[in-house]
A and B are shown apart, each in its own frame.
Chain A
Amino acid sequence: MEQTIVDVNDLSRMFASKRALDGVSFRATAGQVYGLVGANGAGKTTLLKHLLGLLRAATGSVRVFGLDPVRDPVGVLSRVGYLSEERELPEWMRIDELMAYTQAFHPTWDTSYARELLNTFALDPSKKIKELSKGMRAQAGLLVAVAHRPELLILDEPSSGLDAVVRRDILDAIVRTVADDGRTVIFSSHLLDEVERMSDHVTLMHNGRITLSGALDEVRRGYQRSRVRFVEHFDQPPSLDTALAMEGGGRTWSVVHSGSLEQFNHSVLALGGEVVESRDATLEEIFLARAGRSRQQVEAA
């Protein structure tokens, strides 16, 4: 049976009058990589902060390793590695001091792995944090987040500030190593290609809600992008069953749709059109289609 690492149930959170999380339920099991995707203000960071106990659940519950991170911060945080979005590290500290300080809190600290990462990132241990560039700061933060080999690695926008090489080669390798060791990674990102590349599971958030969640392959299989040609000229997008987003004009439209292709074909035929070609939608297309639909729903409400 899969071991549950994170179990979030019906979690809601308000910031003043803004609903940051609205009935979010999320489960993560051991050995998997979970990617959180969403627009700015979707609630990704808020959800991650609840997992760390930095925010307390207003309604609903959060359990990490079966513990409440607010009531038992030591029990949870000693098994978690965290890289914050702001890369908040003490400016005056040197990298070797940062490593020593973090090591003291984690008996599982792997000195040789830390040294290896230090070399991989080409970081000078005698440099102060304030002397580092944004990317180097991210690397230093990543180093201390993973060097104690945490059971759960939480990365908030890990690629922010990292160059393409570090992002593709090193970050991917670190995340895969953690997952292959049977440990869990949860990360948030704006970069859909990165989520597509690194995750086993994807969770799409919009306006504080989870609008889509599942194994990456299943999610991708559930959506297609089809090119449709009609006999009639349409000034406005025609109404098609299961269509999430449409672009184009006149007689030819590109449609991102969910459900079976057969059902969609029927819908197109009913309007006197035909499906010219169809393929699996990319994550970006799914994201844009879902986010756009949610936005329309909100506006309509």
Chain B
Amino acid sequence: MTLRSPTSAMLWGLWRVTRVEAALRLAVGVVLPLAALTLFAVFAPSETAEWDEDIKNIATLLLFLPHLVPWSSHARLNHFTRPIRTATMVGLPTAYLIAMSVAIYLVSAFLLKVTSGHPFSLLPAAAWIAALHLAFGPIGWWTRNMVVVMLGMLVVLFTWGSVAGSRLHSFPNDVDYPLTDYALIALFGLVCFSVAVFAAARARRGDAHSMSAWTPGSGLWEWAINLFRFPCPTSSATRAQIWLDLKANGFPVLMIGVVLAIVILLLSAIGNPIDAAFQDEIRARLSCSNSDCFWARAWPVFFTGLSLLIALSLARNAFGIRSRYGRTYVSAFETTQACGTTQLAALKVLVKSCCVLAAIIAIGVSVWISVPLLGDPVFIQMFNVPLSSRLPAISGAIAALTVYEQLSLVVLAIGGVVIWVAACAVIGALRVRHSRRVYIAASSPLLFGLALVLVGTAQGEGIVSPSVFFAMLAAARWIFLAALAAMVLTTVYVFWIGFAERVLTIRYASAAVAISAAFGAAWLTVLHMAGVQLAWMSAIAAVSILSPALLPPFFSVLAPWSLHRIRHL
């Protein structure tokens, strides 16, 4: 391949490093809104008029979701030592990322428009996204302090959200900018670009540090690691390994969870006074269905969802897999320590799970305290549920359960988090060894789901025969059963090969069986509490509803085996 100019070389490099992230953003922008629309189409209540509007608003928010965070993968390309002007060094990646974001948005919005028939905003929304990414630019070039970067992002999101809100005719799709706004966006872009070039020039001559790609072990993460200082125990290898995993992988997650919990609490506390102070302005801009209009009080609700997503996303990479220059690998430092693979995998997954669970509990406690502060009208208008006044009833219902039932709920919650952490770790490890197969395996159900939605929509429009749609639904059921059978076979095979290769030990296997049995019993108890009668179900339905009980044995054998596969390549 011949690249004839620095510009084409830079664009080629940008495409190479950002293509996976671009695919991910496109997938999120298409799959999540489509899933929301499909779920609504399948489970829609009879009085759909209001729900229809709500679900389309949620779909729009999900459509915007991938564009609310700056790109990260391009930071792996450092052009500081290339013979190019600083303006080119900043301008070309900025233009490329904006073009990519806009293209991704337009493609996903167009696809959703075709499938759902809903008029998702195209040009004004694309302009808003372009301006947002222009504003992210200077922040990234100015500092590599993650706290400042995150605060800057929040300020930009808040400001830009307000700008869009001021031109909002009906939330969230009918946004219309006058020409003067487009001129202002262009002027704003010019200012942002100038600031970014200035900041990049400082960083280029070594007067400041610019943002590098976020990796565990740098920035905010490292700050969190060093926040908790306690000496490494030297009395045993297990304790030392727990210390390392707590410091490197656990406490930062817990700390971020606590910070998110505090932010939810603060947003809830200031929501009431803000809404009260700007009641008239809010009433003038938003159509309120009840007497109490709110705007600031909606933020904690959205932020809670975002916080849970953040907490769950931080659960990934329990094995500490690194990525550098496109190569993924596990650190030789840890893998050359005299520690058994099974013990290493179990410690890493359990330590991370404990900290993720603690972070989620912190967020949960914060939400529990915040709900009464927000009051019922917010939840009635958003979810049609007076959540605030129902809290005592919820507490009473939990207290009315037997100890065994309460214990089952706790086991399920803990087991769910551990399974999630183990699943992320296993997928990450398998990706190192068999990246193409993992991507195919992960994208196949997504593509099948997408095809199902498209065929379902086409069938609704009368383009495709209903028999095709129902055949696909039947196929989905059989694919699910085949996947369950594959899970069982994989569990048995890995169990056998794990012992043959001396990866698994009797002690570990016994613990895994005991935990799986406890999870299975808890799952049956919860099904019984929910009034599910397995005896009245068809065999396929019963197998499907019992399938979550297969997850603990599956991941408990797969976690050490997958770590073994990347420890000894």
> Do A and B share a complex?
yes
Residues of A within 8 A of B217 (CB): 90-92
| Chain A positions 93 through 114: 1 when the CB is less than 8 Å from some CB of chain B, otherwise 0 | 0000100111111100100000
State whether A77 touches B338 (Cβ < 8 A).
yes
- Residue ID in chain B nearest A55 by CB atoms: B569
State whether A97 touches B333 (Cβ < 8 A).
no
| Chain B positions 237 through 264: 1 when the CB is less than 8 Å from some CB of chain A, otherwise 0 | 1011101100110000000000000000
Q: Is the interface of A mostly helix, strand, loop or mixed?
A: loop
Contact among B226, B233, B331, B336 for A104, CB-based, below 8 A: B233
State whether A77 touches B336 (Cβ < 8 A).
yes
* CA of A77 to CA of B338, assembled, Å: 5
- Chain B CB count within 10 A is highest, among A54, A100, A101, for A101
B247 shortest CB reach to chain A, Å: 7
Q: With an 8 A cutoff between CB atoms, is B463 at the interface? A: no
B144 shortest CB reach to chain A, Å: 13
Known contacts A55-B568, A90-B248, A100 near B336 by CB under 8 Å: no
Known contacts A88-B331, A89-B333, A105 near B568 by CB under 8 Å: no
Known contacts A72-B502, A90-B248, A105 near B340 by CB under 8 Å: no
* CA of A109 to CA of B501, assembled, Å: 30
- Residue ID in chain B nearest A50 by CB atoms: B568
State whether A77 touches B337 (Cβ < 8 A).
yes
Q: With an 8 A cutoff between CB atoms, is A34 at the interface? A: no
Residues of B within 8 A of A106 (CB): 338
* CA of A56 to CA of B335, assembled, Å: 14
State whether A105 touches B337 (Cβ < 8 A).
yes
- Residue ID in chain B nearest A85 by CB atoms: B332
* CA of A80 to CA of B335, assembled, Å: 13
Contact among A73, A90, A97, A109 for B340, CB-based, below 8 A: A73
* CA of A127 to CA of B248, assembled, Å: 17
| Chain B positions 170 through 203: 1 when the CB is less than 8 Å from some CB of chain A, otherwise 0 | 0000000000000000000000000000000000
Q: With an 8 A cutoff between CB atoms, is B275 at the interface? A: no
State whether A100 touches B231 (Cβ < 8 A).
yes
| Chain A positions 42 through 74: 1 when the CB is less than 8 Å from some CB of chain B, otherwise 0 | 000000000011111000000000000011111
Interface size, B (range): 20 to 34
Q: With an 8 A cutoff between CB atoms, is B222 at the interface? A: yes
Residues of A within 8 A of B502 (CB): 71-72
State whether B333 touches A90 (Cβ < 8 A).
yes
Residues of B within 8 A of A105 (CB): 237, 240, 337-339
State whether A88 touches B333 (Cβ < 8 A).
yes
How many residues of A are in contact with the other chain, CB < 8 A? 30
Q: With an 8 A cutoff between CB atoms, is A224 at the interface? A: no
Taking CB atoms and an 8 Å cut-off, the chain A residues in 101-145 that contact chain B are: 101-106, 109
Q: With an 8 A cutoff between CB atoms, is B567 at the interface? A: yes
Known contacts A54-B332, A86-B332, A104-B239, A78 near B568 by CB under 8 Å: no
State whether B338 touches A78 (Cβ < 8 A).
yes
* CA of A104 to CA of B234, assembled, Å: 4
Q: With an 8 A cutoff between CB atoms, is B235 at the interface? A: yes
- Chain A CB count within 10 A is highest, among B332, B502, B569, for B332
Q: With an 8 A cutoff between CB atoms, is B385 at the interface? A: no
Residues of A within 8 A of B533 (CB): none
Taking CB atoms and an 8 Å cut-off, the chain B residues in 195-243 that contact chain A are: 217-218, 222, 225-226, 231-237, 239-241, 243
Q: Which residues of A contact B (CB under 8 A)?
A: 52-56, 70-74, 77-78, 80, 82, 84, 86, 88-92, 97, 100-106, 109
Given A54-B567, A101-B232, A104-B234, 12 additional A-B pairs, CB 8 A: A54-B332, A73-B568, A78-B338, A84-B333, A88-B331, A90-B248, A90-B333, A101-B244, A104-B232, A105-B237, A105-B339, A106-B338
28 contacts between A and B (CB under 8 A): A52-B336, A53-B567, A54-B335, A54-B336, A54-B567, A54-B569, A55-B569, A73-B341, A77-B338, A80-B336, A82-B332, A88-B333, A90-B217, A91-B217, A92-B217, A92-B225, A92-B247, A92-B248, A97-B231, A100-B232, A101-B243, A101-B244, A104-B232, A104-B240, A105-B237, A105-B338, A105-B339, A106-B338
Chain A to chain B: the 10 pairs with minimum beta-carbon distance, closest first = A104-B240, A78-B338, A100-B232, A77-B338, A70-B568, A103-B234, A105-B237, A56-B568, A92-B225, A104-B234
